[in-house]
Amino acid sequence: MNKKIQLQDLGNKDYKATWEYQEELFKGIVDLKIQNRREELELATPNYFLFVEHPHVYTLGKSGDLTNLLLSEKQLEAKGATFYKINRGGDITYHGPGQIVGYPIIDLENFFTDIHKYLRLLEESIILTLQEYGLACGRSEGETGVWLGVGTPFARKICAMGVRASRWVTMHGFALNVNVDLGYFDNIIPCGIKGKAVTSLNVELGVDRVNEKEVKEKILHHFKNLFECTLVKE
């Protein structure tokens, strides 16, 4: 069981290019697992954790409803945004500047074979991070991601999640709003959930800007502890 995870920070990178890179890493792990099984080998499968920030883009999960995108193709162009239908779970979401996106591409057989546990630990790494900033946050029953004001009329989502898994290998992940222009969420019904708002860390803290590098370090600290792994920076 290889509990070493290679950490890569891709900076600001186009969504489609990043998706293709994810698929490349994902396929490499799956192919190695197939080879191990066919040839009765025990070669260690690698694990990756990608940090990235995307230019303005809307993505729709495989179970999503296209009507949750409230913009036409021309309106998307006018806003400098792109749109993709993708192969993760979940509905529609937005990615853009000021958002920390994390894509763990890991072989869960190196850790545990439970996709629900995986999602809960991903959520927990964000919850513990936000608690360090004094925010009371948690889960909303029946909805993935991390929320503030759960159980009140002011429930608001601060972190969206959507993953894909095959042969216990994961891809896609989470998107935490840190310094995001929330106006871009007005163009969709986020995650297909009507009547609930979206928020950003800087808004909740009442500051112009939060140090994103610091937030990433906190996320990695909690992720490392929860998954009992070793993170290796590339």
Which residue in the list 137, 159, 191, 229 is annotated as catalytic?
A: 191
94 annotated to a ligand binding site: yes
Q: How would you classify the pairing of strands 99-105 and 169-177?
A: antiparallel
* Domain at 22, CATH number: 3.30.930.10
CA distance 91 to 64: 4
CA distance 89 to 119: 12
User: If you average pLDDT over residues 160-166, what whole number do you get?
Assistant: 92
Rounded percentage of the chain residues whose pLDDT exceeds 70: 97
91 annotated to a ligand binding site: yes
Q: How would you classify the pairing of strands 48-53 and 4-12?
A: parallel
Q: How many domains does the chain have?
A: 1
CA distance 218 to 50: 15
CA distance 6 to 158: 26
Domain that holds residue 165: 4-233
93 annotated to a ligand binding site: yes
Highest average pLDDT, of 26-30, 140-144, 195-199, comes from 26-30
Q: Is there a contact between 170 and 119 (Cβ–Cβ < 8 Å)?
A: no
| pLDDT bracket for residue 195 (50, 70, 90) | low
Average pLDDT of the chain is 93
Phi, psi for 153 (deg, rounded to 5): -70, -5
61 annotated to a ligand binding site: no
**For position 90, what pLDDT does the model report?**
74
| pLDDT bracket for residue 113 (50, 70, 90) | very high
155 annotated to a ligand binding site: no
| pLDDT bracket for residue 188 (50, 70, 90) | confident
Q: For the segment 5-20, what is each residue's pLDDT rounded down to a tens digit?
A: 999 999 999 999 999 9
| pLDDT bracket for residue 142 (50, 70, 90) | confident
Pick the residue with more confidence: 62 or 179?
179
137 carries an active-site annotation: no
92 annotated to a ligand binding site: yes
